[in-house]
Structure 1
């Protein structure tokens, strides 16, 4: 049976990365000192869930990280020192295409 939860970065194989790339198109490695993880871009469901956290930016970041998490060193989610360090990078996971509205 295949393990579904990857809790250390060293468990991630090149085959797993290729599979994630095929499934999600864009994936990213997020690194803090000696810890790393792989994340995907936020989707509508993740954004909706995180937005429901109200005006608490830390909770928003926590929900974005959890929703985008594919695998890696779980300490990035659970240890405040690592989590706070990656918080600034999480905005990059919430990407939008530029849209225009034109009156006809």
Structure 2
């Protein structure tokens, strides 16, 4: 798959919010941030099968890309290493009053 043009990226951002490009061995895929519902489902399954956690995140955040990334074990494991980076966690503070 060829990389998206800046115009395509902007169109996807309007539709999905933040978009992430993952490139591995001349393969590329585009992902959106997971929703709370997706994270919950992945966390539930991930307690027993950590790889299934990554499969759920990848499947539900997938916008487009080289399908081999989903099916080739080496590519999937490579992408799995960066999936946690698309999960944005805001820093909170707690103050006892």
> Structure 1 length as normaliser, TM-score?
0.81
Higher relative contact order (CA 8 A, sep 6+): 1
Structure 1: runs of 5 or more not aligned: 1-8
> Structure 2 length as normaliser, TM-score?
0.86
Q: What is the match of residue 21 of structure 2?
A: 29
Q: What is the match of residue 66 of structure 2?
A: 73
Q: What is the match of residue 5 of structure 1?
A: none
Q: Whole-Å Cα distance in 2 between the matches of residues 75 and 13 of structure 1?
A: 21
How many residues are paired up? Answer: 96
When the two chains are superposed, the root-mean-square deviation of aligned CA atoms in Å is 1.7
Structure 2: runs of 5 or more not aligned: none
SS at match of 1:10: coil
